[in-house]
Amino acid sequence: MALFLFWMPIVRDDPLQLEALIRPVVEGLGLELWGLEYRPQKHSALLRVFIDSEEGVSLDDCSAVSEQLSALFDVEDPIPVAYTLEVSSPGLDRVLFEPVQYERYIGRRLKVRLKFPVDGRRRATGTLEAVEDEKIVVDVDGEPFAVPFDAIDRARLVLEVK
């Protein structure tokens, strides 16, 4: 198993820098970096790394990514406090991070939590109807609800049981 190390200056605690550090490791293992969640606190932090592939994600995949990231973080030290690293599949009720991910799921139901109110709403659940330049459109009870990407705190697919 190869360890991919490279040098780049790290701005500590910056999620974009963390992604730039993590992406080559994940892709080097033949996997897709679906997204990451970074939750810093005063004395600790939580870093969740979601990986995916067309064949699905195994426990061995998660373990390999975790081992390589742990080794890389020991060298680069990008998180200035004690942290917990979690590596997992995004799951069936996956969180959506990028516009291209939303496009894959047009026609599916999702729950959206907003950073700030949009048209008086902080949350919405409905069918994803469209992905446009800077927004998504969700059908909420027969009414279109346009949500700018910068207003989205978290959007997650709704698991539909048939």
Last residue of a domain, one of 35, 70, 88: 88
| Residue 7 domain-assigned (yes or no) | no
Per-residue pLDDT of the chain (162 residues; tens, 9 = 90+): 444 444 344 434 566 789 999 999 999 999 999 999 999 888 999 999 999 999 999 999 999 999 999 999 999 888 888 999 999 999 999 999 999 999 999 999 999 999 999 999 999 999 999 999 899 999 999 999 999 999 999 999 998 877
Q: Which amino acid is at 27?
A: E
CB 106 within 8 A of CB 128: yes
Q: Residue holding tokens 């909420």? A: 140
* Pick from 73, 2, 1, 65: nearest CA to 31: 65
Q: What is the DSSP string of 125-146?
A: EEEEEEE-SSEEEEEETTEEEE
Number of domains in the chain: 2
Beta-ladder partners of 45? 40, 83
Q: Residue holding tokens 């026609």? A: 107
| Residue 6 domain-assigned (yes or no) | no
Predicted local distance difference test score (pLDDT) of residue 13: 53
**CA 132 to CA 99: how far, in whole Å?**
9
Predicted local distance difference test score (pLDDT) of residue 15: 67
**CA 3 to CA 25: how far, in whole Å?**
8
The domain in which residue 113 lies consists of 95-157
| Residue 78 and residue 105 share a domain | no
* Pick from 50, 40, 42, 35: nearest CA to 13: 40
Last residue of a domain, one of 64, 88, 112: 88
Predicted local distance difference test score (pLDDT) of residue 28: 97
CB 155 within 8 A of CB 95: yes
> Could you give the strand order of the β-sheet that contains 44-52, starting from the edge strand earlier in sequence?
32-40, 44-52, 82-88
Name the pTM for this structure.
0.82
| Residue 5 domain-assigned (yes or no) | no
Could you tell me the CATH number of the domain that includes residue 20? Answer: 3.30.300.70
| Residue 20 and residue 59 share a domain | yes
* Pick from 88, 87, 86, 82: nearest CA to 45: 82
